Structure 1
Amino acid sequence: MRAPDWLTARPIAHRGLHDRARGVLENMPAAIDAAVAGHFAIEVDIQLTADGEAMVHHDDTLGRLNDGSAKLLALTAAELKQVRFHDTAERMMTLGGLLDRVGGRVPLVIELKSHFDGDRKLATRLTQALAAYRGPVAAMSFDPDQVLALRQLAPKLPRGITAERRYDDAYWDKLPEAQRNPMLALRHGLRTRPHFVAYRVDDLPAPPPWIARNVFGCALLAWTVRTPDQRSRAARHADQMIFEGFVPEP
């Protein structure tokens, strides 16, 4: 199955159409509403809770955007729904709350955040929540095991791998080399069978996403586009951009 045309039809707002200067923070309800109003597709992140729910949030701990310092995995959905974003009255959403809010009006690209421990609870909860959803939606993850889980749990759901050329910055130090190596050069592709690749824009062009796009027919998204140079690079080498920090023509 190839990625559907709607996936690349319009720019994708990274974590919603957020603007901290206006008090609209990433992944919060107002950022979702702004993206819908602008007719942009929306990329969001989901994290697993202590009781198996999926929350719309990028970080696996509280603090950067909201009060507290606990890990999301240590709190229940009910507890996290009470967490407010800094300097706002808005609170964290569940995945179900996000789906109700968007209601199929624009495409969603949902990134599963992973602890790289083989746990499939988040992928399972995602597929459960999407069972009754009729809007355009795709899912992706940096973790090949999560993409494989999506392939097995929901084979008709458009799935993608989020990737970059190297995994050598501090964020990836937590992973042993044996886990990082299969992520390099999209080596897992024959196992995960992604329909699209979301690739770091500053790493384009590169052979692995070129092969995925031109040989295997995967759609190619460029993340995260913030500058005119990155926008030009995405236009040359990818099918669509995941953007933040400016408002393109939809």
Structure 2
Amino acid sequence: MRLSPFGWIDAALAPAPDPARVSWLGGQTYAHRGVHDERVAENSPSAFAEAIRRGLGIECDVQKSRDGRAMVFHDWQLDRLTAQSGPVARRLSSELEQVALLSGDRIPTLEKLLEQVAGRVPLLIEIKSKKDRNPIPLCLAVNRALDGYRGPCAVMSFDARVPRWFGTHAPAVVRGLVVTEENSRGVGGWFKRQLSLWAGKPDFLAYDVRDLPSSFAAAQRARGLPVLTWTVRSALLRERAAIFADAPIAEGAGLA
């Protein structure tokens, strides 16, 4: 394959993974936060059980508890998904495990989710991060939870510090960079994505489906990085995902 000038830099600074290492990522549909709806809460054991029943891969989110455990929960605050309020990070894991989600399930730890999945379907774990927060404690918590897990599993984040940490400290874990071009288009946005790629050295990309087709995503896919795409919520977006990505991360009508 002929590489562009930046392609040669990509190959040097963010080498493509061994295809055998990442081949399981493609050809799969991932249920975004499990199979959820108005009755079943996102990121809940019930949502994950339905994904497993359907043979779907699972995408989930993790936040750090006050005592440094990885909790399966998307938001920084409890307010939207529970009857309680306040930051997740201020609660102990033992407290969070007793917090009821609006559908009746309780917030699981990552260890509980891994026990539930038990390698039956592939799992994507998005590590939530903010620019002004050090992501390493949550990376450590996720890595501890994954110790000994043998099922197909990968971590990913919008924060390039996350795949970089796993590449350095837990290189056996497949790691991805989550990307959106929203509010970051043009030359400046493209260069920002290049810097994140070089810093993170990911094994794959998880790309905003609204941005496909994307020259950046296509260039990385062509040189061997699988491209997953989120969030596929309709049949039309599923068709787009089938053309420009290796696997959809979908919910609702996108799972049909």
Superposition TM-score, scaled by structure 2 size: 0.87
* 3-state SS in 1 of match to 2:253: coil
Separation (CA, whole Å) in 1 of partners of 2:92 and 2:177: 28
Q: Work out whether 1:56 is the aligned partner of 2:63.
A: no
Of 37, 43, 46, the match for 1:19: 37
Q: Work out whether 1:106 is the aligned partner of 2:121.
A: yes
Separation (CA, whole Å) in 1 of partners of 2:79 and 2:161: 28
Separation (CA, whole Å) in 2 of partners of 1:89 and 1:202: 33
Deviations 1:208-246 (A, max 9, x none): 11111112x100011000012211111111111000013
The 5-angstrom pairing of residues 17-166 of structure 1 reads 17-20=35-38, 23-86=39-102, 88-116=103-131, 117-166=133-182
**Amino acid in the other structure paired with 2:227:** L
Separation (CA, whole Å) in 2 of partners of 1:51 and 1:115: 19
**Amino acid in the other structure paired with 1:39:** G
Deviations 1:142-191 (A, max 9, x none): 011112111112112111000011346xxxxxxxxxxx979832422223
Separation (CA, whole Å) in 1 of partners of 2:101 and 2:200: 35
Separation (CA, whole Å) in 2 of partners of 1:203 and 1:224: 11
Runs of 5+ in structure 2 lacking a partner? 1-16
Separation (CA, whole Å) in 1 of partners of 2:217 and 2:145: 30
**Amino acid in the other structure paired with 2:23:** D
Please give the root-mean-square deviation of Cα atoms over the aligned residues, in Å: 1.8
Separation (CA, whole Å) in 2 of partners of 1:220 and 1:11: 13
Report the CA distance shift for 1:136/1:183 in structure 2 as closer, same or farther (over 3 A). farther
Partner of 1:195: 203
Separation (CA, whole Å) in 1 of partners of 2:234 and 2:191: 27
* 3-state SS in 1 of match to 2:181: coil
Deviations 1:78-114 (A, max 9, x none): 110111011x331000000100111111010000001
- Shift of residue 118, structure 1, vs aligned partner: 2.7
**Residues 233 and 254 in structure 2, CA contact (< 8 A), matched pair in contact too:** no
Separation (CA, whole Å) in 2 of partners of 1:40 and 1:186: 31
**Residues 144 and 161 in structure 1, CA contact (< 8 A), matched pair in contact too:** yes
**Residues 126 and 155 in structure 2, CA contact (< 8 A), matched pair in contact too:** yes
Separation (CA, whole Å) in 1 of partners of 2:238 and 2:254: 12
Of 237, 251, 256, the match for 1:230: 237
**Amino acid in the other structure paired with 2:141:** R
**Residues 207 and 217 in structure 2, CA contact (< 8 A), matched pair in contact too:** yes
- Shift of residue 18, structure 1, vs aligned partner: 1.0
Separation (CA, whole Å) in 1 of partners of 2:74 and 2:244: 27
Of 209, 215, 233, the match for 1:207: 215
Separation (CA, whole Å) in 1 of partners of 2:190 and 2:109: 31
Of 215, 218, 228, the match for 1:221: 228
Tell me the number of residue pairs that the alignment of Structure 1 and Structure 2 aligns: 234
Partner of 2:9: none
Partner of 2:250: 243
**Residues 190 and 216 in structure 2, CA contact (< 8 A), matched pair in contact too:** no
Q: Report sequence identity in percent.
A: 38
Report the CA distance shift for 1:247/1:35 in structure 2 as closer, same or farther (over 3 A). farther
Deviations 1:30-87 (A, max 9, x none): 000000000000000000111001100000100111111110011110110111011x
